[in-house]
């Protein structure tokens, strides 16, 4: 079974903190207002969620009143049941698609048997947010309004950005990662991912700080660079299909003298290829046919 732990809270800006949770090295956030306390993401298991909620309440000096799940993957979502045990009157918010993921659907790390043996609890313990949202929500924490926005599918089918305008801080979940290359999985939508990042950047100021799902806090330039890299990932995979390259061809190329340049490390690209090819082929992308030259 994996080893669970919670690190120390780090100050991002006034009243906004971040902590790293193991075993997934995931960032959880805390936003403190005059009357409300919001937890951003919940950890990987109910027991970790309980511990996280208690730690957040100790730092804030009062219980958690709101909790937001940035997307459906286990390291962000599966602690929600424990948070709600520790703070039963809290409002829990997440995208309306979260409820469909309670059985581990579309998350290759967490089928029911993995939940039992690796994460140490029964999947029947999982809960969905009690106040699901579709597109946008404003939460008044007292002297501080937090904006929750879904700007389209990207890393998953349930991504939410958590914006704190007065502090110029945005929690971006796994739409942006700084610890490693972003992960593409079965519920990713790489074609619309860059547009969603465009939306959150358009709401940002030049000094806005972005708290990723994994890794150190980022600035606007880093977010823009990753947005460009994700766009390149999609367009490069499309070019490979049009050239007639199979997934095996691309993997061989990744491990040898490079014919194709990619924006991410070979392993990250190899992991993403099945989902990229499936999505592109579903959109009708096929090998290009060479037209004969005029006059021949």
Q: CA 172, CA 189: separation in Å to the nearest integer?
A: 16
| pLDDT (tens digit per residue) in 14-43 | 999 999 999 999 999 999 999 999 999 999
Query: φ and ψ at 10, to 5 degrees?
Result: -115, 135
Tell me how far the alpha carbon of residue 268 is from its chain's centroid: 16
Whether residue 293 has pLDDT greater than 70: no
Give residue 289's pLDDT band: very low, low, confident or very high (50, 70, 90): confident
For residue 106, what pLDDT is reported?
Answer: 54
Return the structure tokens found at 11: 């100050």
**Top CATH class, 5-219:** alpha beta
Once rounded to an integer, what is the mean pLDDT over residues 87-101?
Answer: 96
Q: Percentage of the chain surpassing pLDDT 90?
A: 86
Residue 3 is predicted with a pLDDT of 86
Question: Which residues, listed in sequence order, are joined to residue 40 by a DSSP beta bridge?
Answer: 29, 68
- Match 């039992």 to its residue by tokens: 116
Confidence (pLDDT) at 258:
87
Residues 6+ apart with CB under 8 A from 148: 68, 93, 133, 136, 137, 138, 139, 160, 161, 162, 163
Q: What residues does 210 pair with on adjacent strands?
A: 170, 218
pLDDT at residue 107, rounded to an integer = 59
The model's pLDDT over 236-246, given as tens digits with 9 standing for 90+, comes to: 999 999 999 99
How far is Cα 197 from Cα 7, in angstroms, rounded to an integer? 28
Chain-wide mean pLDDT for the chain?
A: 94
Domain boundaries, the chain: 5-219, 234-282
Q: Does the pLDDT at position 111 exceed 90?
A: no
């Amino acid at each position: 079974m994996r080893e669970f732990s919670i690190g120390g809270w780090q100050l991002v800006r006034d009243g906004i903190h971040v902590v790293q949770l193991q075993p997934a090295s995931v960032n959880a956030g805390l936003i403190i207002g005059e009357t409300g306390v919001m937890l951003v993401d919940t950890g990987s298991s109910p027991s970790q969620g309980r511990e996280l909620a208690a730690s957040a309440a100790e730092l804030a000096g009062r219980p958690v009143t709101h909790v937001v799940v940035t997307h459906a993957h286990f390291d962000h979502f599966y602690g929600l049941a424990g948070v709600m045990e520790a703070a039963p009157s809290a409002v829990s918010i997440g995208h309306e698609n979260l409820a469909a993921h309670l059985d581990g659907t579309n998350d290759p790390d967490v089928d029911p048997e993995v939940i039992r043996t690796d994460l140490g609890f029964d999947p029947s313990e999982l809960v969905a947010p009690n106040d699901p949202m579709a597109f946008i929500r404003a939460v008044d924490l007292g002297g501080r309004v937090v904006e929750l926005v879904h700007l389209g599918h990207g890393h998953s089918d349930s991504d939410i950005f958590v914006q704190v305008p007065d502090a110029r801080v945005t929690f971006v979940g796994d739409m942006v990662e700084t610890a490693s290359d972003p992960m593409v999985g079965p519920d990713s939508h790489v074609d619309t991912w860059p547009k969603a990042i465009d939306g959150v950047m358009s709401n940002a100021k030049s000094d806005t700080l972005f708290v990723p799902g994994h890794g150190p806090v980022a600035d606007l330039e880093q977010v823009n660079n990753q947005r460009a890299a994700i766009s390149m990932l999609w367009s490069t995979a499309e070019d490979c299909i049009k050239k007639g390259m199979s997934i095996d061809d691309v993997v061989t190329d990744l491990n040898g003298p490079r014919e194709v340049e990619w924006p991410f490390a070979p392993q990250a690209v190899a992991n993403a290829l099945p989902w990229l090819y499936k999505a592109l082929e579903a959109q009708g992308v096929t090998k290009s046919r060479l037209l004969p030259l005029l006059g021949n």
